[in-house]
Amino acid sequence: MNSKIAFVFPGQGAQYVGMAMDFVNQNDTLKSILTKFDTDNKTDLFRIMNAGPDEDLKDTRFTQPAILFHSVSAYKTLMEQIDVTPQFVAGHSLGEISSLVANNVISLEEAMYLVHKRGEFMMKANDGKPFAMAAIMGIDSNSVAEVCELASSAGIVIPANFNTPVQTVISGSKAGVERAMVIAKEKGARRAIALKVGGPFHSPLIEKAGGWLAEEMQKLNFKDSVTPVISNVDAKPHTSASDIKENLAKQVTSSVKWIESIEYMISNGVELFVEFGPQKVLCGMIKKIDKNAKFVNIDKVEDIEKAIEVIKEYV
């Protein structure tokens, strides 16, 4: 069933202890995939997702597979109850890989392995250099880009995530980011908040991670996508497996063009965004990008019924 709907998938930051457990408890296949992931990778992800501690869940090597698993579990549970094909799929950073699983480009098992390695690579690639990321709020993205240029004399710093018209995340060297935070406040930013992260994500400081990820993807079975995937790198639709892999490797060191991605989908007929994953981070962003946009989030099993009612209005 075709639609005026886009499926969207969140990145890191929305994780919580207990996430996805209601989906797992009613689906033995999902439970076995999670158990096998732990066996194959000598990890304890199932326990960390179920019981914490929160500090372990914030480790990007676990955050990434946890969020991907949660998002795909929500997606699969919905698809068991309604037949709907979105016009586009998109994901924020890590979420782009979740969107590929929903689109049968890559299996859930391979995607969980890939994002676990992605987390490792993104932490390791910085070679122990001092780094930082920060959210700049209250000035537009062009102003933040100017701030980064002005601050770059202190060290590498670039816009990492263009999240909303008044929220941009910056990433880079500790000195560069700290200088940018000061300049941003001078230029009228309402807030400049340092983020607790495992590396300078989406910055040139982790360039090695993109190469390592590209090598890892060569071992996996990627298929062409039936539904266009909106890439973070260029905010344009892609369907070929080779393009998708190339963009995922670039994405590690490139800015996430989330505002442009949402605007592209809306301008091409999307009227409803369905977010799969913990909490409602993307719904909040989408509302700030276009106040007229409609959206619904599936975080828990209990959200499915309402989501189906909303989706039926748009198919």
In degrees rounded to 5, what are phi and psi of residue 95?
Answer: -60, -20
At residue 127, the pLDDT reads: 87
Token code pair at residue 85: 């094909």
Would residue 238 show up in a list of annotated catalytic residues for this protein?
no
Q: Say which amino acid occupies 185.
A: K
φ/ψ bin of 19: left (φ > 0), alpha (ψ from -120 to 50), beta (otherwise): beta
**5 has a pLDDT exceeding 70:** yes
Confidence of residue 197 (pLDDT cuts 50, 70, 90): confident
Please name the residue that has the structure tokens 């949402």: 262
Q: What percent of the chain has pLDDT over 70?
A: 99
Counting Cβ atoms within 10 Å, is residue 138 exposed (0-12), middle (13-18) or buried (19+)? middle
Q: How far is C-alpha 103 from the chain's CA centre?
A: 15
pTM, two decimals, is: 0.96
In order of 107, 128, 129, 196, 226, the CA distances from 99 in angstroms are: 11, 31, 32, 25, 12
Q: What is the pLDDT of residues 126-174, one digit of tens each?
A: 988 999 999 999 999 999 999 999 999 999 999 999 999 999 999 999 9
Select which of 93, 99, 225, 261 is catalytic.
93
Tally of residues, the chain: 315
Provide the mean pLDDT of the chain.
96
Tell me which residue of 259, 140, 154, 135 sits closest to 188, measured CA to CA. Answer: 140
Confidence of residue 82 (pLDDT cuts 50, 70, 90): very high
Give the HSE-up count for residue 258: Cα atoms under 13 Å, Cβ half-sphere: 34
Sequence-distant (≥ 6) Cβ neighbours of residue 308 within 8 angstroms? 78, 81, 82
φ/ψ bin of 202: left (φ > 0), alpha (ψ from -120 to 50), beta (otherwise): left
**1 has a pLDDT exceeding 60:** no
Which domains occur in the chain, in start order?
A: 5-125+205-312 (3.40.366.10), 131-198 (3.30.70.250)
Q: In what order do the strands lie in the sheet with 88-91?
A: 237-238, 229-230, 88-91, 5-9, 272-276, 294-298
Tell me which residue of 251, 256, 135, 122 sits closest to 199, measured CA to CA. Answer: 122
Q: How far is C-alpha 80 from the chain's CA centre?
A: 24
Other CB atoms within 10 Å distance of the CB of residue 312: 12
Sequence-distant (≥ 6) Cβ neighbours of residue 126 within 8 angstroms? 199, 200, 205, 206
At residue 215, the pLDDT reads: 97
At residue 3, the pLDDT reads: 80
At residue 2, the pLDDT reads: 61
Bridge-based pairing of strands 5-9 and 272-276 is parallel
At residue 6, the pLDDT reads: 98
**59 has a pLDDT exceeding 60:** yes
d(CA 211, CA 257): 21
Counting Cβ atoms within 10 Å, is residue 12 exposed (0-12), middle (13-18) or buried (19+)? buried
- What is the average pLDDT across 13-31? 96
At residue 75, the pLDDT reads: 98
Would residue 93 show up in a list of annotated catalytic residues for this protein?
yes
Confidence of residue 281 (pLDDT cuts 50, 70, 90): very high
At residue 51, the pLDDT reads: 97
Q: What is the pLDDT of residues 95-135, one digit of tens each?
A: 999 999 999 999 999 999 999 999 999 999 998 899 999 99
Select which of 70, 92, 116, 202 is catalytic.
202
d(CA 124, CA 116): 13
Token code pair at residue 45: 């992800």
In order of 135, 174, 266, 272, the CA distances from 261 in angstroms are: 19, 29, 9, 14
